Amino acid sequence: MIAFGPIPSRRLGLSLGINNIVSHKVCSYNCVYCQIGDTGKRLLKRDVFYEPGKMLEAIESHLNKLDKEHIPDYLTFVANGEPTLDINLGKEIQLLKKFNIPVAVISNASHMDDPEVRKDLMKADWVSVKVDTVSEDIWKKINRPLDGIGLNNILHGIIVFAAEYNGKLHTETMLIKGLNDAPEVMKDTASFIGLLKPKKAYLSIPTRPPAVKEVKPIPEERIAEAWQIYQQEGIKTELLTGFEGTNTGFTGNVFEDILNIAAVHPLREDTMAELLKQDKADESVVKSLIKQGLIKKSTYNGKTYYIRKYHF
């Protein structure tokens, strides 16, 4: 379950996902909006998950199964957890250079105070860091971090990284109704992001089933207000509020394709239908996976999604 997709990405075009975390979700956060659900294993220190050579082989094998229409624009570390918890991340990024495809890392930024993490991320072509707020109280409510992680240290680490990084730096902020959508809170966040001078700042809202059911996206008028606040700081800003599309990559093994994608990226019903069509399969596969307890159905904002199910 190392490589999956590629899947259409609102940020990266056609993105081949790399899940460098073993098994169920391993993270330093337990974000209320996480589309993967609650954190199965909470981890503070970096650890070994895969041997880098094995990861390289798995990704090369996956790439060889894709047709020309699905050659990815990016190889993206987007795990069922936090990718920088992988102590071999830097080595893995370096190995992937052989494919001549840009490498991206999407991080929650919780370990940006670690010089070794920053050193690893320097090797990536494209990096996104999470900045949902600069208020510690709100940060704890939204991201629900492990004890031992401090927001001020994270923010300082991001500033240091931004000053040294030569690739494409992006930030992402998830806007949640009643938590970080007050004008003064958004202004403080935008002021900090402005210091980083990112290539682009993404503003997103929950579009898939969140870990906490009560989590709601902010109203449209508040989204427009947030965009204006970021514009006033001189930040190039893009809204991630739409659907990416249904054109996922496929390998011919429908069971693996579904499980690998759903582990980190809930499959919307229409996307699932297209994936079944590409893999020359039918709905009996989905019913079988549900019966085996490997995936589950979830509804959010009137849409049905299929999510990887783990047994802890």
Q: Are residues 235 and 277 in the same domain?
A: no
Q: Are residues 146 and 292 in the same domain?
A: no
Q: Are residues 303 and 193 in the same domain?
A: no
Residue 182 lies in a domain: yes
Q: Are residues 204 and 287 in the same domain?
A: no
Q: Are residues 37 and 121 in the same domain?
A: yes
* Chain mean pLDDT for the chain: 87
Residue-wise pLDDT tens digits, 148-194? 999 999 999 999 999 999 999 999 999 999 999 999 999 999 999 99
Residue-wise pLDDT tens digits, 112-127? 999 999 999 999 999 9
Average confidence (pLDDT) over 270-297: 80
Q: What is the CATH number of the domain that holds 288?
A: 1.10.10
Q: Are residues 216 and 94 in the same domain?
A: yes
Q: Are residues 217 and 87 in the same domain?
A: yes
Q: Are residues 203 and 285 in the same domain?
A: no
Q: What is the CATH number of the domain that holds 133?
A: 3.20.20.70
Q: Domain span at residue 286? A: 254-308
Residue 28 lies in a domain: yes
More confident residue, 308 or 67: 67
For the cut 90, the answer to whether the pLDDT of residue 69 exceeds it is no
Three-state SS string across the chain, please? CCEEEEEEECCCEEEEEECCCCCCCEECCCCCCCCCCCCCEECCCCECCCCHHHHHHHHHHHHHCCCHHHCCCEEEECCCECHHHECCHHHHHHHHHHHCCCEEEEECCCCCCCHHHHHHHCCCCEEEEECCCCCHHHHHHHHCCCCCCCHHHHHHHHHHHHHHCCCEEEEEEECECCCCCCHHHHHHHHHHHHHHCCCEEEEECCCCCCCCCCCCECCHHHHHHHHHHHHHCCCCEEEECCCCCCCCCCCCCHHHHHHHHHCCCCEEHHHHHHHHHHCCCCHHHHHHHHHCCCEEEEEECCEEEEEECCCC
Residue 247 lies in a domain: no
Instruction: Give the pLDDT band (50/70/90) at residue 36.
Output: confident
Q: Which of 82-86, 107-111, 199-203, 237-241 has the lowest mean pLDDT?
A: 237-241
Domain count along the chain: 2
